[in-house]
Chain A
Amino acid sequence: MKTTLSLISITLFSFCATRCGNNKQEENTTPIEVTDTIHQQKDTVVIEEDDETSYKLPSALQIAYVSKKSGAPFNESILNKTENLSRYNTSNYKRAVNFGVYSSDLANCLFNKKYQESKRYLKALTETGATLGLKQAFESDKLAERFDKNISNEDTLVQIVSNVQLKTDNLFEQNKQKHITVIAFTGAWIESIYIANQAYELQKNKKIHSSICEQLTFTKTLIKALEATKLKEPEMPELLNAISEINNAFNNIPSVKSATENDRELNFDKMKFTDTDMIPTMELVKTLRTKMIN
Chain B
Amino acid sequence: MKKYINLTCALIVFISTTSFQNGDILCDSKTLKEKAKSALGPYKYDSSELTRIIYKKTETVKEIEIPLFIGEKYRFIFNLEAIPKNIEVQIYNKDKDSKNRKLLFSSKDGGLDRKELQWEVSKVRQVYINYIIPPTEDGSYSGCAVFMIGYK
Residues of A within 8 A of B (CB): 3-4, 7-8, 11-12, 15, 19, 28-36, 47, 49-50, 52-59, 61-62, 65-66, 69, 158-159, 162-163, 165-166, 169-170, 173-174, 214, 217-218, 220-221, 224, 266
Contacts and interface: CB of A to CB of B under 8 A. Distances in A.
Given A57-B47, A66-B71, A32 B64 contact: no
B149 A8 contact: no
Contacts, number: 139
Nearest to A56: B66
B50 interface: yes
Contacts of A36: 54
Interface in B11-50: 11-12, 15, 19-20, 22, 24-31, 33, 37, 44-50
Given A62-B44, A62-B46, A173-B50, A11 B142 contact: no
Nearest to A214: B69
B19 A34 contact: no
B30 A170 contact: yes
A145 to B, nearest CB: 21
B72 interface: yes
A31 B54 CA distance: 12
Contacts of A66: 69, 71-72
21 contacts: A4-B4, A11-B11, A29-B28, A30-B26, A31-B27, A32-B54, A34-B139, A47-B52, A50-B51, A53-B62, A56-B65, A58-B68, A166-B45, A169-B47, A174-B29, A218-B67, A221-B65, A221-B67, A221-B126, A224-B65, A266-B125
Nearest to B31: A28
Contacts of B72: 62, 66
Across the A-B interface, the 3 shortest Cβ-Cβ residue pairs: A28-B30, A34-B140, A32-B142
A224 B64 CA distance: 12
A214 B70 contact: yes
Nearest to B142: A32
B33 A170 contact: yes
A30 B11 contact: no
Nearest to A50: B52
Nearest to B50: A173
Dominant secondary structure at the A interface: helix
A50 B70 CA distance: 28
Contacts of B44: 61-62, 65, 158-159, 162
Contacts of A52: 60-63
B137 to A, nearest CB: 14
Given A32-B26, A166-B45, 16 more contacts: A8-B11, A11-B11, A12-B11, A12-B15, A19-B19, A32-B143, A33-B24, A49-B52, A49-B54, A50-B52, A53-B65, A59-B45, A61-B44, A62-B46, A166-B33, A214-B71
Contact of A58 (B11, B29, B47): B47
A28 B46 contact: no
Given A29-B27, A30-B26, A214-B70, A54 B65 contact: yes
A58 B64 contact: no
Nearest to A215: B69
Interface in B101-145: 125-126, 139-144
Contacts of B26: 29-32
Given A8-B7, A58-B67, A15 B24 contact: no
Contacts of B48: 166, 169
Contact of A61 (B8, B12, B46): B46
B4 A30 contact: no
Contacts of B151: 62, 65
